[in-house]
Amino acid sequence: MIFASWESIGPWLESLLTILTRDEFRFILVLLYHIWNRHDTFMHENLILSVWHVVPSSRPLLRAFDNASGLTGLDRLASEKMLSAIDMLARDYNGLVVSCQASPYYGPCDISVAETETLRYGIKMTLDLQAPLVTIDSDTLNVVRQLTLTQLDMSIVGFHLTEARNLLR
């Protein structure tokens, strides 16, 4: 069974990784990116993109990604030396991009820690922008829930979240 109820998309993607080939999995990631981008375009620009463009535009994007070098995601198992990065994007009330940042990531190869660091950088960006109201859009619900907990968390993620909480005070 591929679809199940999880609090985060991480376990779902891990289950897909065991079912699909590497190329099929990479293509699914690109399709998900395009679907999310379509959602963002509708939400922020009030523009509905045709569903017919999702698959045809995904193949060239995947080829372009394969040809790119430099900043990548958290693939530390790659045979060539690449720099991992985390990125943030800030939009105003109308959905226009007001700031974005990509920073090198030298931490452990753990997606929860990387997402926590991204959240912390996002909070710092918000403080720098002096925004009166902020909505955090994250695909890691479990990390956001951990941020709101008041009990002591002795995990590595908990340590990074303590730093993020201190920024909010």
Residues 64 and 142 in one domain: no
- Rounded Cα–Cα distance for residues 130 and 34 (Å): 31
Indicate the Cα dihedral angle 77, 12, 164, 91, nearest 10°: 100
What φ, ψ does residue 12 adopt, rounded to 5°?
-65, -45
Q: Mean pLDDT, the chain, as a whole number?
A: 71
Total count of domains within the chain: 2
The domain in which residue 126 lies consists of 85-169
Task: Say whether 101 sits in a helix, a strand or coil.
Answer: strand
Q: What is the pTM of this model?
A: 0.45
pLDDT at position 72, please? 47
Task: Report the range of poorest mean pLDDT among 25-29, 66-70, 160-164.
Answer: 66-70
pLDDT tens string 96-141: 777 777 777 777 666 777 778 887 887 888 888 887 777 766 666 6
- Rounded Cα–Cα distance for residues 103 and 69 (Å): 16
Task: Report the range of poorest mean pLDDT among 1-5, 53-57, 93-97, 165-169.
Answer: 1-5
Residues 106 and 155 in one domain: yes
Residues 59 and 99 in one domain: no
CA distances for 9 relative to 88, 114, 146, angstroms: 19, 15, 16
